Chains A and B, each alone.
Chain A
């Protein structure tokens, strides 16, 4: 019953988030601040992970295709496919559930504990619109982060392949151009957009409706990470089934 209650509350939260909008002058500043915190602030870690995981994917692919009959451009092809289809949208989203999700839950949860949300409500401010809506809007730029992740993952793969002696730059570039299907990129960005919505709303839900003190803020952050990851994995499966099969 509690799960059903929470699911219902989550959807009501989403509806409430769009009601009684905050003044545009104030909202603009909140959106810019959230873009800085959630998007710009995540670029470093996303770039670092993407680059090195791209390299690892390329090396592992190369090591598993030692058969001389298999063309060398397969390293680039496999790296591109892994990164565009799965690593970029899903793996990075799980990382973002930890980084951005925990930040959202703990910041909103702390506001709940210190009665700042009560203060907003007493003033007649729609606290959900004030706190969650800017996060939702700023995460509309999340596909931009994933584009960078895809690009750096493929570049990382190329550098690892070429400098590791697994493939030549020409073979790798030929591989990433091989049998390119634009719909795969569309599929990746559809997933990314759905995950962006999840990343903005589930952690906000856990922060906004938490009860208790500082200890519960920590617990809410952990719970939020678990549920955001679970929902991302489930939706990843459903979207893949719907869009690719």
Chain B
């Protein structure tokens, strides 16, 4: 479980996060949603320790991040897997080498053990015979799967995904969403996903935190987001014609 209390972050005097408090539950897919510029990515990067924050507290299963020593932070990072928006695969390494990278850096496994593990996770994300390809030769969907494989190869306790299905077609996006959900259930990890995709919300949003202008505007789940009267949330959720029709059907059904 990850607990966040009163998180503040500014850039050049402009406050981007204005005191966010929330909890991300273990074994759940926790979604951070909101419009572009609402502070989602900054919030995620603060959680990861990539951005220092001015005020507040982040704790990983009771361990307060800011109170950890550098070595303890490094150990904690070994428990974190991250899928970046652009996949962030290392250009100079093949797909197999990318996935093997965390094992090479942080474990004492033999080469054959590492190769077996890479085969296993690549198979798990439905990538077979892609080992020798370079990231530039892989499609967007494949790159995302490789990024997921790299994130889970070291059995993390926490999985973070920054807009994992951005730039993907709807079908591939749903496949990626479901893959993340399956992995969360399978390994019982705390998954935090940054998204502004309503399809993701509907598919995997077990817990949803809605951000608006650097503040938590709403918190709930995919079951409650359609029932909420919170105007900020309804503005966002029902911004498309399709979603407006869905809501109309929902209201009619209720009547």
State whether A121 touches B104 (Cβ < 8 A): no
Known interface pairs A114-B86, A115-B84, A116-B88. Does A122 touch B105 (Cβ–Cβ under 8 Å)?
no
Known interface pairs A20-B74, A116-B91, A118-B50. Does A123 touch B86 (Cβ–Cβ under 8 Å)?
no
**Number of A-B pairs whose CB atoms are under 8 Å?**
55
Give the distance in Å from the alpha carbon of A110 to the alpha carbon of B105 in the complex. Answer: 22
Min CB distance A111 to B, Å, is 8
A26 within 8 A of B: yes
Binds A, one of B75-83, B115-123, B236-244: B75-83
Which of chain A's residues have a CB closer than 8 A to the CB of B220? none
Of A23, A114, A116, the residue contacting B105 (CB under 8 A) is A23
- Identify which of residues 111-148 in chain A touch chain B, using a CB-to-CB cut-off of 8 Å: 111, 114-116, 118-119, 121-125
Which of chain B's residues have a CB closer than 8 A to the CB of A25? 104
Q: Can you offer 15 A-B residue contacts whose CB atoms are under 8 A?
A: A26-B105, A110-B91, A115-B86, A116-B89, A118-B84, A118-B88, A122-B49, A122-B50, A123-B77, A123-B82, A123-B101, A123-B105, A123-B106, A124-B74, A124-B75
A22 within 8 A of B: yes
Give the distance in Å from the alpha carbon of A124 to the alpha carbon of B74 in the complex. Answer: 5
The SS class assigned to the B binding surface is mixed
Which of chain B's residues have a CB closer than 8 A to the CB of A26? 104-105
A residues near B (Cβ < 8 Å) are: 20, 22-23, 25-26, 33, 110-111, 114-116, 118-119, 121-125
Which of chain B's residues have a CB closer than 8 A to the CB of A115? 84-86, 88
B57 within 8 A of A: no
Which of chain B's residues have a CB closer than 8 A to the CB of A23? 104-105
The SS class assigned to the A binding surface is helix
Give the distance in Å from the alpha carbon of A115 to the alpha carbon of B89 in the complex. Answer: 9
- Identify which of residues 65-124 in chain B touch chain A, using a CB-to-CB cut-off of 8 Å: 70, 73-78, 80, 82, 84-86, 88-92, 101-102, 104-106
What is the chain A residue whose CB lies nearest that of B75? A124
Known interface pairs A20-B74, A118-B50, A119-B82. Does A124 touch B106 (Cβ–Cβ under 8 Å)?
yes
B217 within 8 A of A: no
Give the distance in Å from the alpha carbon of A111 to the alpha carbon of B91 in the complex. Answer: 9
Of B82, B91, B104, the residue contacting A122 (CB under 8 A) is B82
Known interface pairs A26-B105, A116-B90. Does A122 touch B85 (Cβ–Cβ under 8 Å)?
no
7 other A-B residue contacts (CB within 8 Å) besides A22-B105, A119-B88, A121-B50: A25-B104, A26-B104, A114-B91, A116-B90, A122-B49, A123-B78, A125-B105
Min CB distance A173 to B, Å, is 46
Which of chain A's residues have a CB closer than 8 A to the CB of B91? 110-111, 114, 116
